[in-house]
Structure 1
Amino acid sequence: MLYYLFEYLDKTLDISGTGVFQYITVRSALAFMLSLLLSTIYGKRIIQFLQRQQVGETVRELGLAGQNEKAGTPTMGGLIIIFATLVPVILFAKLHNIYIVLLTVTTLWMGTIGFIDDYIKIFKKDKKGLKGIFKVVGQVGLGLIVGSVLYFSPAVTVRQDTGKINIFRVTTENEIVQAPVEEKSTVTTIPFFKNNEFDYAELLAWTGDGYQKWAWLVFIPVVIFIITAVSNGANLTDGIDGLAAGTSAVSVLALGIFTFVSGNIIFSNYLNIMYIPNSGEMTVFIAAFVGALIGFLWYNSYPASVFMGDTGSLTIGGIIAVLAIAVRKEMLIPLLCGIFLVENLSVVLQVSYFKYTKKRFGEGRRIFLMSPLHHHYQKKGYHESKIVTRFWIVAIMLAILSIITLKLR
């Protein structure tokens, strides 16, 4: 909203200094600072409100040190993250930008699913929360919306070296300067490869001529899978104080670098990467989101004063997934969100091996002392602060490795 106000003041009234709001860097910095202030200052009030409503965490008997002390700690703290993200976005972002619209819908959609799940657990006293099938339906629904918009919307284009050109301008010497065409495409990026662009439509090339128009049959299911997988991965990672928020902040910050350079024609040309028009605006959203996550850590660090609950974890996963897909870096997710991946895999391996050994030997056996993986290390006697710090370090290393794929091919 303030963006449009200052745009009017600059272009209509020509007030000196108001044009600074045209710069993504300025608006991102303001969004980050406001988000950090909102999450730290008003976060305390939200926590006090949750305490008055007796929105306390019910702790399962897991046999972990310090676990019982967490009983009664307020949950649904994801409301802090959502509030501190959306307010700066509404104030500083271009609200008509298709990517901002998608990210706002994702935040509200996944936040609502998580809120319903937490509500059932707390007020209905049902530890299972929202039935898994309804969660999946919600995630698939969001995937359909995001996939359809990214595929069909004329506002979502890319500029790549396709051999097609259009007239950019004619110089005084009558020289025609030409530039690549912005076009609809299902092209994505394969990390670590020199010729690293892959078109999902190519998977349908065997069907014959005109296969490109059926690319949505591949693209949309891929989007659904990624959103479901990443949101569930974030949900599993939210197990000990500060783990999910800290690792997510690192991953989102790395995605912020990708969105900034991909949405800037100068940087994208220099780095020889795909230019995605209007995607740079996502940097404002990312700045607000990172500020909200860091501010939330003020209260979520050990010993936590509040837990994010599914309200926060599902929202975080959904946002990260949509950001990666929008900036055509979804194939980097296993590396960039490596913590989410190993947490997911630890649960899948644990359950699968237990069922297999029970069927074969009549007794279920385990690979880990407990899953997800962070509980395995708790069982081994590591303090949760040490576990969280080391997971953060790994997340930083993975983020740096992801960023250098811009040139490491």
Structure 2
Amino acid sequence: MLYSLLYPLSEDYGLFNLFRYLTFRTGGALFTSFLISFLCGPSIIGWLKVRQKKGQPIREEGPEGHLLTKQGTPTMGGFLILLGLSLSTLLWMDLSSPYVWACLVVTSGFGVIGFLDDYRKVTKSSSAGVSGKVKLVLEILVALAAVLIITAAAEPEARDMLALPFIKDTMINLGVFFIPFAIFVIVGSSNSVNLTDGLDGLAIMPVIIAAATFAFISYLVGNAIYADYLQVTYVPGTGELAVFCAAIIGAGLGFLWYNAPPAMIFMGDTGSLSLGGAIGTVAVIAKHEIVLAIVGGLFVLETVSVVVQVVSFKLTGKRVFRMAPIHHHYEKKGWAEPTIVIRFWIIALLLALVGLATLKLR
């Protein structure tokens, strides 16, 4: 909005020429989303406490200490993130870019799905929310709408292509399978973050790290000179996604202020589903879907732990982990919550560095 309104005035007022630069708008988006999330936090948390009373229902089979310390903490804190993210995006991004709207479709759509799930859990005082099948169908429909926007805006020669990390000048033409593949990436990313969100601050910092990584990737991929130098696929218009990712970072930091142990609020499905979907959408647009699996390797690990646990129990009647997702396994082993959280943050940071290395190692 500010770009559309103020940049045209740069011919008369040189100061407004700043809005031409992605770096300036990226910084503006980060600080704006942080301030919105940070300043609105106390009032939103207070309102949710009054409305929810008992807070988020906690899994009864969870670790004993977890049950005692988490009772009464309100959920739906993702609304705080979405507020800062959405307003900052609308203020600082070039709204003529279809990629902006693809990202907002997923972020807001998945946010609504997550809200419905959180609302059902709170009102029914149960950890079981909306049916998994219903959520999955809704997520696929939202992701489909976003993918159609992305494919319509993409350059024809790269529209259905899958780029491979570590290998230069090699892309796989997925053809008609690109749309279901892209939907899988977005929905999978969303639910992986959702599974990771189980301890204070555990999910939000890896999301911030992934967003920072893809802000950098998007900027490089959207610049013809850098893309040619790094021998990655040039995708015109993806530079704007750096602004979107910066808004995620800022809103996430504002939320982390209140989500740090002991958490004053949980993001709930409202936040985890929308943030995971947002990161997945950026990866699809930037043609770095496989790199997402590296950068978001912590989310992949959490998901795999659940799959392994379920498959093992159904086939053998035995559990591989004391509890899944895997962060609860370490809780059951006696690790302190901050220890688990910080160590998982370290893993997320290292994986992000490996993901960035794919830009040069070709």
TM-score (norm 2): 0.96
C-alpha separation in 2, matches of 1:195 and 1:273: 8
Deviation at 1:188, TM superposition (A): 2.4
Aligned position for 2:334: 381
- Pair 1:398-2:357 in alignment: no
Aligned position for 1:292: 251
Aligned position for 1:313: 272
- Pair 1:188-2:141 in alignment: no
Q: How many positions carry a matched residue from both structures?
A: 360
Aligned position for 1:327: 286
Deviation at 1:126, TM superposition (A): 4.2
C-alpha separation in 2, matches of 1:126 and 1:224: 30
Aligned position for 2:51: 53
Aligned position for 2:201: 242
Deviation at 1:63, TM superposition (A): 3.3
Deviation at 1:33, TM superposition (A): 0.7
C-alpha separation in 1, matches of 2:147 and 2:40: 35
For 1:108, the aligned partner's letter is S
User: Which structure dedicates a bigger proportion of its chain to helix?
Assistant: 2
Match of 2:314 among 328, 342, 355: 355
C-alpha separation in 2, matches of 1:371 and 1:78: 23
| CA displacement 1:67-120 (0-9 Å, x = unmatched) | 322111010000011001011111111112111111111111000000000111
- Pair 1:274-2:215 in alignment: no
- Pair 1:229-2:188 in alignment: yes
| CA displacement 1:229-264 (0-9 Å, x = unmatched) | 111111110000001101111111111111000111
Match of 2:296 among 322, 328, 337: 337
Task: Give 1:122-161 correspondences, 5 Å limit.
Answer: 122-151=122-151, 153=152, 155-157=153-155
C-alpha separation in 2, matches of 1:64 and 1:326: 43
C-alpha separation in 2, matches of 1:125 and 1:376: 25
Paired residues of 1:98 and 1:156 also in contact (CA < 8 A): no
C-alpha separation in 2, matches of 1:92 and 1:252: 17
Paired residues of 1:43 and 1:296 also in contact (CA < 8 A): yes
Task: Give 1:67-78 correspondences, 5 Å limit.
Answer: 67-78=67-78
Paired residues of 1:147 and 1:219 also in contact (CA < 8 A): no
C-alpha separation in 2, matches of 1:377 and 1:184: 43
Check 1:191–1:57 CA distance in 2 against 1; reply closer, same or farther (3 A cut).
same
Deviation at 1:187, TM superposition (A): 1.8
Task: Give 1:31-46 correspondences, 5 Å limit.
Answer: 31-46=29-44
Deviates most, 20-29 or 137-146: 137-146
Aligned position for 1:100: 100
Structure 2: 5+ residue runs without aligned partners?
none
Deviation at 1:185, TM superposition (A): 2.8
Task: Give 1:75-90 correspondences, 5 Å limit.
Answer: 75-90=75-90
For 2:95, the aligned partner's letter is L
C-alpha separation in 2, matches of 1:3 and 1:78: 27
Aligned position for 1:257: 216
Q: Secondary structure at the match of 1:403?
A: helix
Aligned position for 2:178: 219
Q: Secondary structure at the match of 1:67?
A: helix
Aligned position for 1:161: none
RMSD: 1.4
C-alpha separation in 2, matches of 1:370 and 1:258: 35
For 2:38, the aligned partner's letter is T
| CA displacement 1:123-178 (0-9 Å, x = unmatched) | 23343111111101111102211222222x1x3227xxxxxxxxxxxxxxxxxxxx
For 2:89, the aligned partner's letter is V
Paired residues of 1:146 and 1:223 also in contact (CA < 8 A): no
| CA displacement 1:346-390 (0-9 Å, x = unmatched) | 111111111111xxxxxx211111110000000111001010100
C-alpha separation in 2, matches of 1:315 and 1:66: 25
Paired residues of 1:81 and 1:293 also in contact (CA < 8 A): yes
Q: Secondary structure at the match of 1:96?
A: coil
C-alpha separation in 2, matches of 1:63 and 1:319: 31
- Pair 1:199-2:173 in alignment: yes
Aligned position for 1:212: none
Deviates most, 68-77 or 53-62: 53-62
C-alpha separation in 2, matches of 1:16 and 1:252: 31
Paired residues of 1:143 and 1:220 also in contact (CA < 8 A): no
Q: Which has the larger radius of gyration?
A: 1
TM-score (norm 1): 0.85
Paired residues of 2:4 and 2:95 also in contact (CA < 8 A): no
Deviation at 1:333, TM superposition (A): 2.3
Paired residues of 2:58 and 2:127 also in contact (CA < 8 A): no
Deviation at 1:198, TM superposition (A): 2.2
Deviates most, 394-403 or 38-47: 38-47
